[in-house]
Amino acid sequence: MAPDLDDPLAFRRALEWLSSEKRSGRILAWHDRSDGGLIVAALEMAFAARLGLELVLDSHSSGASSALQKKDALSKLFNEELGVLIEVDDDVVPALLASAHAAGMTAPLRRLGEARTDARLRVVQGNQTLIDAAMGELIGAWGETSWRIQRERDNPASADQEYQRLRDYAAPGLVFAPSFDADADIAAPYIATGARPRVAILREQGVNGHVEMAAAFDRAGFDAIDVHVSDLESGRWRLSQFRGLAACGGFSYGDVLGAGQGWAKGIAHHPELAEQFRAFFADPGSFTLGVCNGCQMMSGLKDLVPGAEGWPRFLRNHSEQYEARLVQVEIMDSPSVLLAGMAGSRLPLVVSHGEGRVDWGGQPMPASARPALRFIESDGRPAHTYPANPNGSPDGYTGFTTRDGRTLILMPHPERIHRRVQMSWAPAGGDASPWLRMFRNARVFVG
């Protein structure tokens, strides 16, 4: 049954007030109660923050029977009529109430409870404690159905690892720890010259990550040129006209199995194209970035890339699923020019791939591989289990460079979060995300 809306204008005023207060920074979070009621909204907010919760319900009249008290509590906890739960700091409550009155809010506002640090849910009505439960048990119940479906649909081992991580309520979340000043624009002196070196934003049929890639390089001071492989075949563009090459990700050839390798073979088996790429990779003044499908493609061309002999293949994820997540990575110490000055950083990064598991034919990583990026746990240990390691790569390795560092391949997508507002979670700060430094490093490299 749809909720009642007796006064559409009051509803509009409430939404406008909520938006205004969110922009002011007084409201930290909110959740409507339309899908499960107050208790579900409150729990989902607490689950996201990995905190405990105490809810205090209005007590029914003192003479009411126990059955009537419980019925009243159920109606308050599971009522799905129009309503919203708002999270604020204690010290802003008076200002919040004043602004609600000034905005003509007619709906009642009342304090319902507070966060707890002991990872428990406590629901109180009058002098009765209705619920006192561990949040780990509750989030386990909340995710159990999804887990059971996931075990049938995906790799059961991956499903079990994710469910175990979900129930570990005390586990720390993502870490945002750059080893450098993310707001420092090291490319500014070069941009100030007015020169905008060309970078080829390379794509093939089906690739859809080229717009974000171009935006990141444009912001770093490049003239980003959209180049399709067919442009190189026809002679409309030649790689010798560019200082940089960025092979983009996102569903080349519809992301059919092995699409990145298919893209590579289309180049390697075309003599004129292969020679263009060979000459470009050999130019000491050039740089190359391969991301996602572009990473797989570059791996397939490693025989053309000086110093890439130890690169792996990229195989189907162990989870048996396409993975799109914000995960934790560490930037390793490597000769990569694009990661210069970034080693030691622990940062969230987007992954979006179905075939990202690195493999050297079942053998250990060779000494010539030169890893540059790996998935890690929040405490910095290499991630071995799902979903912190979303594809099952050994020791979490997910990015590699060459001997001279001019070429970097990685499965995650730094171009998709080169601005902080593009990140689904990030602490407060400036506009630039730490990942913009990669593109600024490229601008410094070309001079």
Catalytic residues: 292, 413, 415
Other C-beta atoms within 10 Å of 175: how many?
16
Other C-beta atoms within 10 Å of 8: how many?
8
Other C-beta atoms within 10 Å of 281: how many?
23
Handedness of CA 274, 279, 282, 285 (dihedral sign): negative
Task: Report the alpha-carbon distance of residue 142 to residue 145 in Å, rounded.
Answer: 8
Cα–Cα nearest to 407, from 331, 324, 294: 294
Task: Find out whether 412 and 314 touch, Cβ atoms under 8 Å.
Answer: no
Query: How is the beta sheet containing 128-134 ordered, strand by strand?
Result: 113-116, 52-57, 120-125, 128-134
Task: Report the alpha-carbon distance of residue 9 to residue 14 in Å, rounded.
Answer: 9
| Token representation of residue 126 | 């009058």
Label residues 206-235 b or e (16+ Cβ within 10 Å = b): ebebbebbbbbbebbbbebbebbbebbeee
DSSP bridge pairs for 170? none
Burial class (CB in 10 A: 0-12, 13-18, 19+), 111: exposed
CA 134 to chain centre: 28
Cα–Cα nearest to 311, from 383, 259, 357, 365: 365
Q: Name residue, tokens 């994820």.
A: 317
Those residues whose C-beta lies under 8 Å from the C-beta of residue 249, and which sit 6 or more positions away, are 207, 209, 291, 292, 293, 294, 295, 352, 353, 413
Whole-angstrom distance between the N-terminal and C-terminal Cα of the chain? 64
DSSP bridge pairs for 328? 348
